[in-house]
Amino acid sequence: MDYEAVIGLEVHAQLLTDSKAFCSCTTRFGNEPNSNTCPICQGMPGVLPVLNRKALEFTVLMAIACNCAINEISRFARKNYYYPDLPKNYQISQYELPVSEHGWVEIETAEGIRRIGITRIHMEEDAGKLIHDERKPLSYVDLNRTGVPLIEIVSEPEIRSPEEASAYLRVLHAILVYLRICDGNMQEGSFRCDANVSIRPRGADYLGVKTELKNMNSFRNVQRALQYEIDRQTEVLTEKGKMIQETRLFDPATGTTASMRGKEQAHDYRYFPDPDLLPLRVDPALVEELRGKLPELPAEKKARFIKQFEIPAYDAGVLTSSRPVAEFFEEVVGLYPVAKRVSNLLMIDPTEEGISRVTPRQVADLLKSVDDGIISGTVARTIYEEMRNSGSDPDVIIKEKGLIQVSDTAELSRVVRQVLDDNPAEVERFFAGKTKLMGFFVGQVMKATKGKGNPAIVNKIVAEELNKRSG
Amino acid sequence: MTAFELSRLLGAKKASCVEITRSVLDRIDAVEAKINSYITVDPEAALQMAAKADAKLASGLGRRLTGIPIAVKDNMCVRGRRTTCASKILENFIPPYDATVVRLIKDEGMVILGKANMDEFAMGSSTETSFWGTTRNPWNLEMIPGGSSGGSAAAVAAGEAIVALGSDTGGSIRLPACFCGVSGMKPTYGSVSRYGLVAYASSLDQIGPIARDVTDLALLLNLVCGHDPADSTSVPREYPDFTSFLDKPIKGMTLGIPREFFAQLQDRDVNRALAETRKVFEDLGAKFVELSLPHLDYGIAAYYVIAPSEASSNLARYDGVKYGHRATKFDGMIDMYSKTRAEGFGNEVKRRIMLGTYALSSGYYDAYYLKAAKIRTLITQDFKKAFESCDAILCPTAPTPPFKIGEKVDDPIQMYLTDVFTIPVNMAGLPGMAIPGGFSEQGLPIGFQLVGSHFEEGRLIQLSSAFQKITDYHLKRPSL
pLDDT digits (tens, 9 = 90+) for A256-303: 999 888 877 778 999 999 999 999 999 999 999 999 999 999 999 999
First to last CA, chain A: 73
Residues of A in contact with B90 (CB under 8 A): 45
Return the C-alpha torsion angle A116, A117, A122, A127, nearest 10: -40
User: Do residues A332 and A387 make contact, with C-beta atoms less than 8 angstroms apart?
Assistant: no
Residue range A433-444: mean pLDDT, rounded: 86
* B321 with A276: Cβ contact below 8 A: no
ipTM of this complex > 0.90? yes
Q: Which of residues 89-118 of A touch B (CB under 8 A)?
A: 89-90
Q: Specify whether the backbone of B68 is left (phi greater than 0), alpha (psi in -120 to 50) or beta.
A: beta
Which residues in chain A are contacts of B365 at CB distance < 8 A?
Answer: 270-272
Judge: B317–A277 Cβ closer than 8 Å, yes or no. Answer: no
**B397: closest CA among B174, B180, B168?**
B174
pLDDT higher than 90, residue A413: no
Backbone angles phi, psi at B372, to 5 degrees: -60, -40
Q: Which residues of B are catalytic?
A: 73, 148, 172
Q: What is the mean pLDDT of residues A225-247?
A: 90
User: Residues A101, A119: contact at Cβ < 8 Å?
Assistant: yes
**Contact (Cβ atoms closer than 8 angstroms) between residue B31 and residue B160:** yes
Q: A409-470 has which fold?
A: Arc Repressor Mutant, subunit A (1.10.10)
pLDDT of residue B264: 79
Model confidence pLDDT, tens digit, residues B327-362: 999 998 899 999 999 999 999 999 999 999 999 998
Residues constituting chain A: 471
Answer whether B233 touches A (CB < 8 Å). Answer: yes
Nearest-neighbour CA in chain B from A141: distance (Å):
9
At residue A276, what is the residue type?
D
How far, in Å, are A351, B7, B163, B396 from residue B467 at the CA level? 80, 23, 20, 15
Residues B19-48: what's their mean pLDDT? 97
**What phi and psi, each to the nearest 5 degrees, are found at residue A69?**
-85, 135
Contacts of B257 (CB under 8 A, 6+ apart): B278, B288, B289, B290, B291, B393, B394, B395
**Domains delineated in chain B:** 3-253+391-475 (3.90.1300.10)
Q: Do A272 and B309 touch (CB under 8 A)?
A: yes
Which range (A86-95, A430-439, B6-15, B224-233) has the least confidence?
A: A430-439
- Please list every residue in chain A whose beta carbon sits closer than 8 Å to the beta carbon of residue B370: none
Average pLDDT for A65-76 = 96
Asked which of A111-120, A414-423, B268-277, B381-390 is least confident by mean pLDDT, the reply is A414-423
Burial of A205 (0-12, 13-18, 19+ CB in 10 A): exposed
Cis peptide preceding B313, ω within 30 of 0:
no
Q: Does B338 touch chain A (CB under 8 A)?
A: no
Dihedrals phi, psi of B178, to nearest 5 degrees: -60, -50
CA B49 to mean position of chain CA atoms: 24
Distances (CA, A) of B383 to A148, A209, B390: 41, 50, 10
Which residues have CB under 8 Å from A14's CB, separation 6+?
Answer: A27, A126, A148, A149, A150, A182, A183, A189, A190, A191
A149 in reach of chain B (CB within 8 A): no
Pairwise CA distance, residues B238 & A222, whole Å: 55
**How many other CB atoms are found less than 10 A from the CB of residue B226?**
18
Q: Do B321 and A45 touch (CB under 8 A)?
A: no
Model confidence at B471: pLDDT above 80: yes
Query: A226-258 burial, b for 16+ CB within 10 Å, e for fewer?
Result: bbbbbebbeeebeeeeeeeebbbbbeeeeeebe
A280 shares contact with chain B (CB less than 8 Å): no
User: A268 in contact with B at a CB cutoff of 8 Å?
Assistant: yes
- Provide, as residue numbers in chain A, all residues whose Cβ is less than 8 Å from the Cβ of B202: 275-276
- Judge contact between A104 and A153, C-beta under 8 A: no
DSSP state of A272: E
Does A376 or A38 have the greater pLDDT score?
A: A38
How high does pLDDT run on average in chain B? 96
Q: Which residues of B touch A82 (CB under 8 A)?
A: 316, 319, 337
- With contact defined as beta carbons under 8 Å apart, do B430 and B457 qualify? no
Whether A281 and chain B come into contact, CB under 8 Å, resolves to no
Contact A44 B75 (CB under 8 A): no
Domain boundaries in chain A? 3-286, 296-401, 409-470
Alpha-carbon torsion B60, B61, B67, B68, what sign? positive
